[in-house]
Structure 1
């Protein structure tokens, strides 16, 4: 049998750049080829924007680039009102919301939603049952993996990826302390553990809180694509026939 000259097609890693506050940063994300733009609707966050401001920035997005609205323990009515201002937004729950509360907030428009899981830091940290968590939040479009720190929102901290279970019946979004320097390794380690993998970055592409660097955004996207290429090559070699 003659082996094919093309590597098998693998799902590419989707990319979300979060904590956008400025028009020029939204434009840089779009130009980089990223898939989603995140707006933080959590007032204590230094990257907070109002729903009206998120709507204003989201209007710059072309088709097939998704706005994501991040909430922390917000009432369902507040979530619904914000989503009404940003049509087509994905909801990201990043607080202590129960499965029922997430479903209630998303239900009026049957909006897709993500649920953040706060993974403990350090080898001595208590175990986190991600398999059960994913089962509890089975209606979520994906489980977003972030480091558990004091407070809510983006942590900017990296948890130990090797402690994640080997198989989780959910789409996963890797977050927490990602940078252009470490995201390739993160993808290689975490991609096999879920149904698919996306990545989410905020502080790793900033010059200061809420102010993004176009150069770092492009470096981050390039590093993600390098990971995809490595995975495709590895899969190609594994599937080559022996005769």
Structure 2
């Protein structure tokens, strides 16, 4: 089984190069100003020009309005929009209709009850992303908190849309994560950082090498 990887929260050429040269199939840019991984549309546009053919670009947004989406999408070419907030199925459909770009919706998983929402979302989203529910504290981000959820919740499950696994993934636990969930696509951010918001090229390569060896 080939497992594809998305390196999310890229903000500089060195880490982008490490991602694409190491075999990442997706690269993600975060347009959520409160995140340490936030990148301006102008910088993201420069980075996107370095992405080779065959690697998909992903824009991560948190409850964006159409004006903000238009502001970013008009500058940066995306293959996929990732919605990581509290967007409803109706809002997902609106974004798809307005921008004609496939949408991946994050499902925040804390327990089995959260997976029921995934089926509703799958009726409109093109992809699903299962991430850990943020901790209940004011400083918690919608994603990228470096925590995992109970992977056994996904064991043996099948979904009507392609999906990615996210949340607390690192080189030293990714084999267990894939074995438990059967994930064929992974999304990593904080697990390849040496400090919040800064990707370490060596950690990026180590994660990609580990996944390639699965």
Q: Normalising by structure 2, what TM-score?
A: 0.90
Which string of whole-angstrom CA distances, capped at 9 and with x for unpartnered residues, describes residues 31-88 of structure 1?
A: 1011111111000001101122211111110101111100001102321331221223
Instruction: Measure the CA separation in 1 of the matches of 2:24 and 2:119.
Output: 25
Report if aligned partners of 1:146, 1:155 keep a CA contact under 8 Å in 2: no
Structure 2 counterpart of 1:209: 196
Instruction: Measure the CA separation in 2 of the matches of 1:217 and 1:129.
Output: 30
Q: How does 1:163-178 map to 2 (within 5 A)?
A: 163-164=153-154, 166-169=156-159, 170-178=161-169
1:66 aligned to which of 46, 50, 56: 56
Instruction: Measure the CA separation in 1 of the matches of 2:116 and 2:155.
Output: 7
Structure 1 counterpart of 2:130: 145
1:30 aligned to which of 20, 24, 37: 20
1:48 aligned to which of 38, 42, 55: 38
Shift in Å, 1:130: 1.5
Instruction: Measure the CA separation in 2 of the matches of 1:43 and 1:160.
Output: 29
Alignment RMSD, CA only? 1.7
Which string of whole-angstrom CA distances, capped at 9 and with x for unpartnered residues, describes residues 131-153 of structure 1?
A: 44233332222211111114413
Report if aligned partners of 1:40, 1:49 keep a CA contact under 8 Å in 2: yes
The answer to whether residue 7 in structure 2 is matched with residue 17 in structure 1 is: yes
Report if aligned partners of 2:107, 2:114 keep a CA contact under 8 Å in 1: no
State the SS of the aligned residue for 2:32: coil
Structure 1 counterpart of 2:120: 135
Instruction: Measure the CA separation in 1 of the matches of 2:66 and 2:84.
Output: 14
The answer to whether residue 173 in structure 2 is matched with residue 182 in structure 1 is: yes
* Equivalent residue pairs, number: 208
State the SS of the aligned residue for 2:205: helix
Shift in Å, 1:111: 0.6
Shift in Å, 1:22: 0.7
State the SS of the aligned residue for 1:111: coil
Structure 2 counterpart of 1:3: none
5+ unaligned residues in a row in structure 2: which ranges?
Answer: 135-139
Instruction: Measure the CA separation in 2 of the matches of 1:211 and 1:130.
Output: 31
